[in-house]
Amino acid sequence: MGRTGRDKRYDVVVCGGGAAGIGAAVGAARSGARVALLEQAPFLGGAATRSGVLTYCGFWTQAEPPQVAVAGVGAEVLDALDRLGGMSGPIRTERTHVVIALIEPEALKLALDRICGGAGGIDVILHGRLAAAETDRTTVRSAVALDHEDMFALEAAAFVDASGEADLAHFARAATRYGDVDGRVQNGTLAMRIGGIPRDADISRVAWAGAVRDAKARGAERMTKEQGLVARLPHSGEVIAFLADEAYDARDARSVSAAERHAREQAWAYVEAIRALPGHERAYLIATGPAIGTRESRHVVARAQLNGADVLGARIPPDTVALGAWPVETHPGPGVPSIWKRLRGDGAYGIALDTLVSATHRNLFAAGRVLDADADAFASARVMGTAFATGHAAGVAAALLADGRSADVAAVRAELHRQNAILDLEQEPASR
């Protein structure tokens, strides 16, 4: 690409401003790097703000009492949300007895603006879509973004792919894989935010499932699922629900568009169905998505793969750079009930640095749901608490590499310790 005045050089470029991208950008900046954080949406937050996924999972173990498994950048985000009155938790859910926090999307947008602004050295570029990458054999040279003006290059010594779709790895021609080894992906779901339901109304899954079944018996169509997560937001009292499942190819705009059109029909049908319940008569749809929530798309093929046996066995290897604490939670297809498997002792497992380093491109790191994992391991490591942690680790590793310092496991762990990340459950967190 010919240089233009809008091209710029950084130490680290992070593609994607979701949980993983925030962890990576702040972690890299705190390690001394000049960072570009590229996000196509008009705000940061990823699935939480773009797709209405407003329950943070993976920050705590499922033990009684729960233990903190993710601190560092993730804990800063929780603290900032708390200060804005935009979070309730940790709380244990009724049916699955898992530990989550409920968050308000507007509070999250502001909290993330402030955290990235306050970290120093992060150039946040919203409304910029990664459209290409320039590589020199096995080294990524630049990420090429597109806005309403033209293309512009973000050059750097190291890159973090936190795009959820592994767009950067794909455009850089690094090795990627769609879904698990057989090309299967978990289904997506369009979130619904519903108003008009008083706080004392029964919003249990059982009550809603009954209403959906009754509506189907009366001839209603289109609703794929009877039961899914239904929860009330802490501040607004709005109800969120994950019911409208779809199967589609997240890489293909036509496929995603068709899924979203169909899912919006589903959302209206669900609201119509629940209006039959006591206290739900005035229920109305505040918002869907806005974008459908994609659980799984491409993964970066890394130097190592996180495997389900180690995740379920809650093993913490010596090369751990992040902890995962969420059970294995698989969504096998539209309308098919989710499958849960608990971790041994309701503990946590370690995620090795090599699962975040591209197998083919020496200066490319993976963070969040693009990490390399088999189906069971992915079904746990994909959640947002863990994405903050893998992002933090990838950002620190990228910054060390960019600075010419060693990005080996010992150096990355030492820097993560300095930045209050948790690498072992025995460790006392600095906050939370």
Ligand X SMILES: Cc1cc2nc3c(=O)[nH]c(=O)nc-3n(C[C@H](O)[C@H](O)[C@H](O)COP(=O)(O)OP(=O)(O)OC[C@H]3O[C@@H](n4cnc5c(N)ncnc54)[C@H](O)[C@@H]3O)c2cc1C
CA distances from 255 to 50, 129, 334 (A): 18, 19, 15
Count CA within 13 A, CB hemisphere, residue 97: 8
Q: φ, ψ for residue 97 (rounded to 5)? A: 55, 40
Distance, in Å, from the CA atom of 429 to the CA atom of 19, rounded to the nearest integer, reads 19
Contact predicate 14/36, CB 8 Å? yes
Q: How far is the CB of 194 from ligand X (least distance, A)?
A: 15
Nearer to ligand X, 42 or 237 (CB): 42
Contact predicate 71/44, CB 8 Å? no
Q: How far is the CB of 312 from ligand X (least distance, A)?
A: 19
Q: How far is the CB of 143 from ligand X (least distance, A)?
A: 9
Dihedral through CA 408, CA 410, CA 415, CA 416, nearest 10?
Answer: 100
Nearer to ligand X, 299 or 361 (CB): 299
Q: How far is the CB of 344 from ligand X (least distance, A)?
A: 21
Nearer to ligand X, 84 or 131 (CB): 131
* Diameter over CA atoms, the chain: 67
Contact predicate 145/155, CB 8 Å? no
Q: φ, ψ for residue 254 (rounded to 5)? A: -65, -40
Whose CA is closest to 52, among 248, 284, 291, 381?
A: 291
Nearer to ligand X, 18 or 90 (CB): 18
Residues that bind ligand X in the complex, under the rule CB under 6 A = 15-21, 38-41, 46-47, 50-51, 53, 55-58, 129-130, 162-165, 167, 188-189, 242, 293-295, 368-369, 382-385, 387
Nearer to ligand X, 275 or 338 (CB): 338
Nearer to ligand X, 294 or 320 (CB): 294
Q: How far is the CB of 58 from ligand X (least distance, A)?
A: 6
Q: How far is the CB of 354 from ligand X (least distance, A)?
A: 18
Residue nearest ligand X, CB atom distance: 368
